[in-house]
Amino acid sequence: MEAASRIPETGGLSQSPSSAPVCADFERFRKVLTGYLRPEDIARIEAAYQYSAAAHAGQTRISGDPYISHPVAVAEILSAWHLDPQALMAALLHDVMEDTGIVKEEIGDKFGRTTADLVDGVSKLDKIEFQSHQDAQAENFRKMLLAMARDVRVILIKLADRLHNMRTLQCVRPDKQKRIARETLEIYSPIANRLGLNSIYRELQELSFLHLYPLRYAVIDKSVRAARGHRREVVGKILESIKRRLPENGIAAEVHGREKHLYGIYRKMVQRHLSFSQVLDIYGFRVIVKDVPTCYLALGALHAMYKPVPGKFKDYIAIPKANGYQSLHTTLIGPYGTPVEVQIRTAEMHHIAESGVASHWLYKEDDALSELQRKTHKWLQSLLELQNTAGDSAEFLEHVKIDLFPGEVYVFTPKGKIMGMPRGSTAVDFAYAVHTDVGHRCVACRINYELMPLRTELKNGDQVEIITATHPNPMPTWLSYVRTGKARSQIRHFLKNMQQQESSSLGEKLLDKALEEIGVKPGAIEAPAWERMMRDSGAKSKREILEDIGLGKRLAAVVARRLVLREDILPLDAKSGTGAVVIRGSEGVAVQFGKCCRPIPGDPIVGSIKKGQGLIVHTHDCHAIRKSRHSEPDKWIDVEWDADRGRLFEVRITVHAQNRRGVLAKVAAAISDAGSNIENVSMDDERGIYTSLFFNVQVSDRIHLARVMRSIRRIQEVVRINRVKTDA
């Protein structure tokens, strides 16, 4: 999206634009190109410049500068990463399709198909307008990331485009400044970080902070300038000490002092609720050495000079960040108690830290790609996987925003492989990171050889082993503690499919019952009737109609009457059954049991369809439904228990007993002896001679419950026992 408006063209350009004078900006850009490109490539790039300059002739930016200055600035940013000629030509041409009548085919004929594809990809991104409406923003963001997944150079050009627009953002209206700055901070800056483009990431953050919160920016900037004066002597002393000490230890190094970025200081103040005076480590040093062994030698020399702060050492060389970043980080206590952060890296690591995936750009053969670019490609492909499993654009945006922030927890598989995970990740996140099927089937985990709950948060250095079951069974509760976008997306996708299957099965039962009530055998409905029903209702399939019935979005009686409207009705045998919907209890989310009465097999039951929830089952004597059954009898249907049930049911019982030592253990043993599991147990807070014990136990039916209660009654200390049907 452009930060400035353009003068619209009055007509299209179909002929080749004539040569235009070469501007000073392009001359500076060309000097950079001579450092790494062949003369013939530079000639092609200059031809693209001439073409773009003629296409944008007469257009100006809001600042008054000729519009061609913007594409040249974008290409110049990309040239610092030594991008290939196709990307640079696309940068110079990235607005011509949007602003003129020039089409993709014409660009392809003149500058090659690759360049045309890149221009087309960026042009589509330029048309994206992030609206305040969440769904529209999410859909646009989805399109942008999928374009990036096809060719990462598209987003590199777009990031350079956004950077130049942010540098000239002061020319637009204040309200537009804030909107563009917020977009940049929430979306473009994290993408730059995820791709390892550190210099762009920091600059986008600083410029966004400047335009979003100009007063806060000014205050912190003033404070940093003042602190710079107060601490100049200390910082200079530390810098000179490091420069002197390293050569004494035989270590050749470049040492640079640096200030923390203003947005980084502001974010630390907000997150940790600190005042500026409490943010002590606003200065840092960067030590650049020749190779990896020297990095560790330099670390030892620095720790001998100044005491390190415990817990503040991070080795990103042995375990790189997800975006390829490598360095040793340590915090030292300098003179006068000043904490100082030091980063130690090689020159190559420094280059990658600044340019990320764009460093040493290789575009000839797939097998020539660097390991960093392979990792980036893998992440981009994972976006396509998220797209396939996400229910909608808003869900896709939620998943991807999580993954845009690199992981900071590193754990080990049982075979010793290192895996990076976002901070706060759990064992379930780890299982899905290994493989989707492992995630679906995980039932337990061992962390550092000890059995631990699946919700356990992982810590640096943990060894994690996942224990799996034969059949997949993700739980809805996992969504409350998983951290990664992949895990959240896959769990939701599985549960959604499971709900659709269960709802379809329930809908079929309800429709069969409705057909029987009007005297029609379910098997008598033929394909033409279903086709008419789908056409009239706008449904895509028979299954969709059955799902809607199961979820309460359509009434089974209405669907039944529409289906037989033009069909021959076969007579129904009066002895075919009761007509009640049969409940096994294993239907899952499509059938729910009322918490107001907690029905179990053996209880007389009745059902009600609630929109979006499916079938809700209550006991006949449930107090919560008494009024509704009398006032709205048409909303209730007969249901009955299947003789072949497929699950255990939770029931709550209260045991009143004498308050004696060991009574809880006796009751628990009695429940176990009766073949029941205890789900939960609690006790009355007020205890005198007697106390109340509350149990949630699993039983198969009322007969099983009676057996459990008889077992408990045999205990001498038990005074009374009763079943609790409500949560109150």
Tokens of 74: 């974008």
Reduce the DSSP state of residue 175 to 3 states and report it.
helix
Cβ neighbours, 10 Å, residue 391 = 11
Between CA 509 and CA 499 the distance in angstroms is: 15
Mode of pairing for the β-strands spanning 442-447 and 307-308: unpaired
Cα angle value 638/644/647 (rounded, 5°): 90
Residue 135 among the catalytic residues: no
Task: Round to whole Å and give the CA distance between 362 and 91.
Answer: 18
Q: Where are the beta strands (DSSP E) in 458-507?
A: 464-468
Question: 314: helix, coil or strand?
Answer: strand
Q: What is the DSSP string of 47-80?
A: HHHHHHHHHTTT-B-TTSSBTTHHHHHHHHHHHT
The residue type of 437 is: D
The one catalytic residue in 98, 398, 567, 640 is 98
27-44: b or e for each residue (b if 16 or more CB lie within 10 Å)?
Answer: eebbeebeeebeeebeeb
Name the E strands within 79-228: none
Q: Distance between CA atoms of 659 and 690, rounded to whole angstroms?
A: 5
Tell me whether residue 151 is one of the annotated catalytic residues. no
Q: How many CA atoms lie within 13 A of 577 on its CB side?
A: 12
Q: Which of 721, 701, 699, 718 is nearest to 709 (CA)?
A: 721
- Find, among 620, 680, 87, 110, the residue nearest to 358 by Cα: 87
367 phi, psi to nearest 5 deg: -75, -5
Q: Which of 25, 76, 95, 99 is an active site residue?
A: 99
CA distances from 577 to 66, 572, 580 (A): 83, 11, 8
CB 488 within 8 A of CB 482: yes
> Any idea which residues carry the catalytic annotation?
98-99
